[in-house]
Amino acid sequence: MAKDKVAKSDYGAKEIQVLEGLDPVRKRPGMYIGGTSTEGLHHLIWEVVNNSIDEAMAGHGNDILVQMMPNDIISVRDFGRGIPVEIHPQTKKSTLETVLTVLHAGGKFGGEGYKISGGLHGVGVSVVNALSAWTKVEVCREGKIWVQEYKKGIPQGDVKAVGKSDHTGTTITFQADPEIFPEIKYSWTKVLDYVRQQAYLTKGVKIVIEDRREAPTEKEEHKIRRHGFYFDGGIVSFVKFLNRGKIVKNEMPVYVEKTVDDVAVEISLQYTDGYKEHLYSFANNIFTPEGGMHVTGFKMALTRVLNDYAKKNNLIKEKDGGMTSEDLKEGLTAVVSVKLRNPQFEGQTKSKLGNAEVRGIVSSITAEGLVEFLEKHPTNAKSMIEKCLLTVRARIAARAAKDAVLRKGALEGMTLPGKLADCTTRNAELSELYIVEGDSAGGSAKQGRNRMFQAILPLRGKLVNVEKTSLDKVVKSDTLKPIIIALGCGIGETFDASKIRYGKIIIMADADVDGSHIRVLLLTFFYRYFEDLITNGHIYIAQPPLYRIQKGRDVRWVYTDEEKDVVVEEFRLKAVEKGAEKAADKKAAKAADKAAMLESGEITEEELEEAGGEVEKIAGVTIQRYKGLGEMNPQQLWDTTMDPEHRKMMKVEIEDAEEADRVFDVLMGSDVEPRRRFIQTHAKTVKNLDV
């Protein structure tokens, strides 16, 4: 038997790539800043700002200046101690260069440099340096100004003293690298919100932000946007800010502050008449959107203390049972902030706090402070408990209504709504549910769809504004109940996003005022009760065409007025060109006839001039404006709005949860005055108003 030949492998030591210095950051930026999208881009600013705030929390410098400069340049200045510049004993280089070019180098791993810090990993400023086209660092320290510059993380010279200074601090200026970030466009609103948030969390620190992108010189001061933030009230002011314009239950927010075992805990909470929870948690001023042990401890104490108080003061009836953690979420606005020496975050983006010891500390501090507040302020306490008990009763009513719906469906031999035209496939990733306005459009959609993967649910009846009603009424609604059942993922405490029956839920409404209103009502419904579906990219808005434009056999579907103008102009130019060709031929023929007539004496030159000229007419273009989906036949609806190869859809995303919540509250809430102000403010910017 012949021996098998072994193929020669090119895989050897030379194929093993060793990334040195900041190379790993440029190769895999997502590992350090979460990605290269707009979130990752702004994360560069957060890293530098957090370093300055760490200095402030350590008691060094109370002023921070953030500047957005022309050409997408960012500058952050603080008045802290300044990064050390002396030779580092390990790297044998300047400490400043070490901090800017070596991962996991910083004063936050031990010692007395920082007892509390948001920059746990020591990679923040070095990552910013690595992902920037250029970086410049100025340090005021020891009476001198020290400077070093970098390109893509590589030093362009040694640290040098360039002048004298009578103060201390660090200024870091950088320009994000277009080789790393596909789009470099900073959001003033996003940066403003972050800076405001940090000012709330750091009492007594003043943070100023300037937008100088439209003012390249100091003489153009009128073009500079500037905001300063300074809050003595800290997170209490933060809670009041979050609840601005809302009806609150306890006019005085709960505030608890205490330090135990080097863990500083600050908590503030207030209940509103809303149905959504707004809980913001922070560890060392770093926002932890996924919560962690500090949030777990807070919720444990909140549930225990409010139940004990309600029972002790006979505010809760036996038939209501106890209040669950879910019951206490509705209408709760809370800020939970902890500051500790050695935080254990999950990942560089620090989305969750994992320190187990924090849970017990936060729980005991919350319980102690909450008990004291409830005893001292019985009126506020009663309002809070009554709000929570309303939620309990609504939960019980909603469960009964939901069970009745399911029982009824089972008895009738079906669990899905009768109006639903379901699709064949059971693969949620492939299937789509169209929620269609009106029976007429629903009929066209049912006939025009691809039955394999497209399901149609026509809306019937008046939609409930969920912003003004409770869960039990939502579940009983004749319009919303079929949607809840069709989705299959439950609602309220039974909600489970993994059980969703359709990968895409598409809202398809008319392109008029009524259609816009229906879209807003449905978006409010999904945002308040199915926010995870939006976050996970399941919710879409169909874009039916506004116009059908035809000239001869050439038919175009257009979706905006601007697009309509372009197409009409295109048709017009073609008609002009074609008319010009015909006119030229006609002119030549007329010239020949004219010459023959003159030559034969049939007409004189004077008689020809008196006859005058002719006007050519350009052929017209047929423009049909669609205001209703029902005006389109099934084939047209498929071609324009439902065919995956040609349709246009908008994915619904939440860029700023806090701002989204505020807008929903203003536009759909019970208070009329904020809505009136919003309309007056934005009335002049409305385009294509349909009245």
The pLDDT value given to residue 656? 62
Does domain 23-229 fall into CATH 3.40.50.1820? no
The CATH class given to the 416-545+647-685 domain equals: alpha beta
CA distances to 75, 302, 592, 632 from 66, rounded to whole Å, are 6, 37, 79, 54
The pLDDT value given to residue 109? 38
The pLDDT value given to residue 411? 33
Residues of the chain with CATH 3.30.565.10: 23-229
The pLDDT value given to residue 384? 93
The pLDDT value given to residue 17? 38
Residue 210 has φ and ψ, to the nearest 5°, of -125, 135
The pLDDT value given to residue 410? 37
The pLDDT value given to residue 373? 96
CA atoms within 13 A on the CB side of 40: 24
CA distances to 470, 512, 561, 572 from 625, rounded to whole Å, are 39, 11, 10, 19
The pLDDT value given to residue 119? 43
Residue 293 has φ and ψ, to the nearest 5°, of -65, -30
Cβ pair 271, 248 in contact under 8 A: yes
Tokens of 507: 């809202």
E strand or H helix that includes residue 127: helix 124-130
Tokens of 543: 């874009």
Which positions are catalytic?
437, 510, 512, 514
pLDDT along the chain (691 residues), means of 10: 45 40 84 87 92 84 94 94 88 88 60 46 74 95 94 93 92 96 93 92 91 82 88 92 88 94 94 88 88 95 94 79 86 94 73 90 96 94 90 76 52 60 92 90 91 92 81 82 88 84 93 84 90 92 88 84 86 74 59 57 50 38 79 89 91 74 67 65 57 44
Residues of the chain with CATH 3.30.230.10: 235-395
Tokens of 323: 């209040």
The pLDDT value given to residue 677? 67
Cβ pair 629, 441 in contact under 8 A: yes
E strand or H helix that includes residue 542: strand 539-542
- What residue type is 581 in one-letter code? E
The pLDDT value given to residue 616? 31
Tokens of 549: 């434009």
- Residues in CB range of 547: below 8 A, 6 or more apart: 557, 558, 564, 623, 624, 625, 626
Which of the listed CATH numbers 3.30.230.10, 1.20.1250.20, 1.20.1260.10, 3.20.20.80 matches domain 235-395? 3.30.230.10
Residues of the chain with CATH 3.40.50.670: 416-545+647-685
